Amino acid sequence: MEILQYSDDHHRFRERLQAFLEKEVTPHVDQWEAEKIVPKKVWQKMGRQGFLCMDVPSEYGGMGGDFLYSVIVAEELTKTWHTGLTASLHSDIVVPYLSSFGSEALKQKYLPGCVCGDIVTAVAMTEPDAGSDLAGMKTAAVEEGDDVVIDGSKTFISNGIIADVELVAARDPRVENPYEALSLYAVETGTPGFSRGRHLEKMGMHSQDTAELFFSKCRIPKANRIGDKGMGFLMLMQKLQQERLVCAIAAVAAAERIMEWIMQHCKQTRVSGRFISKSQVVQFTLVEMTTEVKLGRTFIDKLVADHIEKKDIVIETSMAKYWTTEMLNRTVDRALDLCGDFGTLETCPLVRAWRDARIMTIFAGTNEIMKNIAAKFMGL
């Protein structure tokens, strides 16, 4: 019996998404990789087809779907052999802060645009001197009457170039406890005092725009605060479970895609007149790799089921994020070895996959931080 039970609606959604990606995304990936960005019109097409923010309620333009729709999107996007169209980041990591904690006015203002793709979002947490350590943030937010003035900088912000609304984590410098000083604010592109820095050149994920953000006396309405003042850390902690789970889902799906490709490659490629899949060394390697990927799939499907049931799986998602991303890196690394000389060429799809996989052990909290979180919650 399958752990996850997909309905006919889920299957139809997957089929529609596959057709959309085959037509609107996959043929253009090489161009987007060269241009280092995915055009905004693609986000809009995706949103208008119902493939963004599937869990947003119908009163804000969404379909009010369950988390399995998000799983489907994360899985199908891996089959496009690129990581630039970060729909899962937008739909399942950033927008949930608005839909769960935003005021009714903010929901009415932003959610319909998030659903249809007119608004692309980013979350700005990482700073030059504070990566996975949220308590180390220095970006300041000081209330002045009905406004909030933000000063500081952020870096390595995914969707940093294309985003229309950034959810910025900033602290009140007058509050001593760093965990009680943090709040989240919605900052629109074009707000005076807000500017973008470099479009960062990365080792992988070339079509996924990543940027520096700067705030210099950036004045926004106090009404743009998401949730209660000082509750930013708790909100981040609550939603990071889903962020890490989404990351793990993508890692397992990417490993499955790589295994499908390398199995076919080994069955179709001859060395000295013999298919390399007939070599016992290659067979044992493929079996070992497949075993790890299947273990990852079972682990992730169980966590998805638990997450849908709203169980507290902070320990398990931290474990899953670190293990699945490292498993993905092992998988693509060994797959490249099996490609021989072909694995040194850009025409080999695993070359891009290898580059793209490497950062997954770092973003969404480094794997060392994941182990640290799990250890603390385990009482170690």
> For 60-111, how does the pLDDT look when each residue is reduced to its tens digit (9 = 90+)?
999 999 999 999 999 999 999 999 999 999 999 999 999 999 999 999 999 9
pLDDT digits (tens, 9 = 90+) for 274-283: 999 999 999 9
d(C-alpha 143, C-alpha 139), whole Å: 13
177 versus 247: which is more confidently predicted?
Answer: 247
Residue 132 pLDDT:
66
What's the pLDDT score for residue 360? 94
Tally of structural domains, the chain: 3
Asked whether residue 2 is assigned to any structural domain, the reply reads: no
Same domain, 145 and 39: no
Query: Taking 90 as the threshold, does the pLDDT of residue 1 lie above it?
Result: no
Average pLDDT over residues 42-56: 97
What is d(CA 366, CA 368) in angstroms, rounded to the nearest whole number?
5
Of 97, 119, 141, the residue at which a domain comes to its end is 119
CATH assignment of the domain containing 165: 2.40.110.10
Residue 3 lies in a domain: no
Q: 82 with 210, same domain?
A: no
Which residues are bridge partners to 213 per DSSP? 154, 196
Domain extent, residue 358, equals: 234-377
| pLDDT > 70? residue 340 | yes
Residues 259 and 343 in one domain: yes
**What was the pLDDT predicted at 176?**
85
Strand partners, 274: 271
Residue 1 lies in a domain: no
Please name the residues in contact with 75: beta carbons below 8 A apart, sequence gap of 6 or more.
249, 250, 253
- pLDDT surpassing 80 at residue 209: yes
We report the CATH number of the domain holding residue 78 as: 1.10.540.10
> Are residue 21 and residue 107 in the same domain, yes or no?
yes
- Tokens, residue 277: 């899949």
41 and 145 co-located in one domain: no
Final residue of a structural domain among 207, 228, 249 = 228
Is 241 found in the same domain as 223? no
Q: Are residues 89 and 221 in the same domain?
A: no
Please name the residues in contact with 164: beta carbons below 8 A apart, sequence gap of 6 or more: 113, 118, 119, 120, 121, 188, 189
User: Which residues carry out catalysis?
Assistant: 243
Judge whether residue 131 has pLDDT over 90: no
pLDDT at 137: 86
Q: Do residues 195 and 250 both lie within one domain?
A: no
56/102 same-domain check = yes
